[in-house]
Amino acid sequence: MAKIFLIVLGAAYAALAVWCVARPEQTARSIGLSLLPGSGQSEYQTVYGGLQLGLGLFFLWAGWRGDAVDSALLASCFAHGGIVALRTASLVQFSGISSMTYGFAALEWVILLASGLLYWQR
């Protein structure tokens, strides 16, 4: 089950990375960002595209390899724990949050809880 979870998670991150790089204006706008020419575009491509691609490839690799599953689940717990903590704080701190952002928040909680449960079961 953990391998399948990591492969699905990795594929989702890789697909999101491709979408962010292929359609940066669309994806940025959908989450409330506007990209300034040059530096803003570079930063978005690097952080949203590059980081998500790296995470996606790592989770895919760990899922296929098998002996890295525990490490990948733990890495997911740390990464998504940080994301969930700051996302939750931002939902309390800021107003005007879009429904897409709330959807991402819910998905991030699911990923964190699934990662933790799968790690704990192993």
Cβ–Cβ < 8 Å for 48, 20: yes
122 pLDDT band, cuts 50/70/90, is confident
- pLDDT at residue 6 tops 90: yes
Average pLDDT of the chain to the nearest whole number: 95
Model pTM?
Answer: 0.90
Nearest to 118, CA basis, from 76, 84, 60? 76
Q: What is the pLDDT of residue 31?
A: 86
DSSP string, the chain: -HHHHHHHHHHHHHHHHHHHHHSHHHHHHHTT--PPTTHHHHHHIIIIIIIHHHHHHHHHHHHHHSTTHHHHHHHHHHHHHHHHHHHHHHHHH-S---HHHHHHHHHHHHHHHHHHHHHHH-
Tokens of 35: 């990209």
Tokens of 117: 């449960």
